[in-house]
A and B are shown apart, each in its own frame.
Chain A
């Protein structure tokens, strides 16, 4: 549904997005992770035909980004929720959706039907006549998502949809995104929230101007080089830590009575580590594997650049 090939955007001498190549399948929820200034919003803006690309190619469906004849068609099949929701604060929730329905030329009966559907689904129907400016951040975010869906787009771009939301409102938004997935909508989600990405995204791309990694959350976790074991002891002493380090690993972190030890080859090194701890007087209660988290992968990739 979305394809990019060496997509690049430069602002003068600054490269905001560098040779981005990716594809997002129809009905997929794709998460874009990256620090501030990584180029996530710029990517969405290029894909939404809001700003031009400097080089490379990109397609949404059968339409080509950068082809002037396709720009309006692309905007007609996508919905965008920007990081600042940008509602018409003086207008009611209903009118906000109604005007956007008109902008997308949704006919009146369909417009009414969809407005009612979304406002009821998002629990805003009883507040439909209240000015959007009086809404909480969560309600505004939900209304902005409904606005982006009013014309039944095939692709939805969400830029930090849960930022500044309380946990309950975040959950509502996440649940709504999962509902969209059931409807086979393609969702392209920019987020800083690793937990959110892990929960709702089929695949994740980690961007820091360049695409650093891409895959399912499980694939990314597995991709982190090296593994860790957690050894729970009755008590930890300097002698035990030294003994473990002598075995050959310097990656030892102490948390309470736990040692978190980085091991390159667990099958070979674990028996030596356990023996060394025992020889140093350590009494082992549990040994478990600590797999890398998405956070580990993210930080490793972002810091490596």
Chain B
């Protein structure tokens, strides 16, 4: 049974938030990726309708595309946290600041939770902010064609509230595990970048309607992510132990 001291975890996360402020590249990526989705896809739809006005009169036939577009928020949730997590863990490893941190009375699980929170909160906050902009713009664009507000809907709710957080946790856990074998932040980011591809494959399959992004399919995906998260949680907590870090981490 893992006992958690949330005050400890928050202290660790607060320090990482403070450090995060000086990482301009990570800040830009965290803000611009969801913003790009929020502005880009409505922009693409508006441009297509402007160039091919007949496509706008095709009723609700374009709605699968909207579902597919919204999957990009899951892709963002899966890719953005690894940037922060790799700085948070490998960065501390490079700076040799893990040893004094581990010498404090905080439990390994508190430190790990703090680092996970620090990697989870900024990307998810940015994803949620981007999703609000996306919903407003898409609704403004499509309401006159559909005759109703497409967003919010159950599928997007599952994407934002279940699938995206689970994807984010998956990414963080994978980064923790990879961090034990890496001494280079970019190397970890490249490895976790591989995570991007399964999501792109899912995205393409939704675009070609092989996997319709309905609520049921999204819940099934969420179940798979949850199992993967639990498995990686076991591995990452086994990896993030004082003795392992000081004697076995490269």
Contact = CB atoms under 8 A, between A and B. Distances in A.
Nearest to A74: B105
A148 interface: yes
Interface stretch (B116-124, B185-193, B198-206, B240-248): B240-248
A73 B107 CA distance: 11
28 contacts: A50-B99, A50-B103, A50-B242, A51-B242, A51-B246, A51-B247, A52-B243, A72-B105, A72-B107, A75-B104, A78-B103, A79-B103, A80-B99, A80-B103, A82-B99, A84-B96, A86-B96, A86-B97, A86-B99, A86-B100, A88-B95, A103-B12, A103-B101, A103-B104, A104-B104, A104-B105, A105-B7, A144-B100
Interface magnitude class on chain B: 20 to 34
B80 to A, nearest CB: 20
A128 interface: no
Contacts of A144: 100
A87 B95 CA distance: 7
Contacts of A104: 104-105
B169 to A, nearest CB: 24
A73 B106 CA distance: 10
Nearest to B242: A50
Interface residues of A, number: 34
Contacts of A72: 105, 107
Interface string A89-125: 1110001000110111100000000000000000000
A102 B14 contact: yes
Given A86-B96, A90-B22, A99-B15, A48 B103 contact: yes
Given A80-B100, A88-B15, A88-B19, 15 more contacts: A51-B242, A52-B243, A72-B105, A81-B100, A82-B103, A86-B95, A91-B19, A95-B18, A99-B11, A99-B18, A102-B14, A103-B11, A103-B12, A144-B100, A148-B100
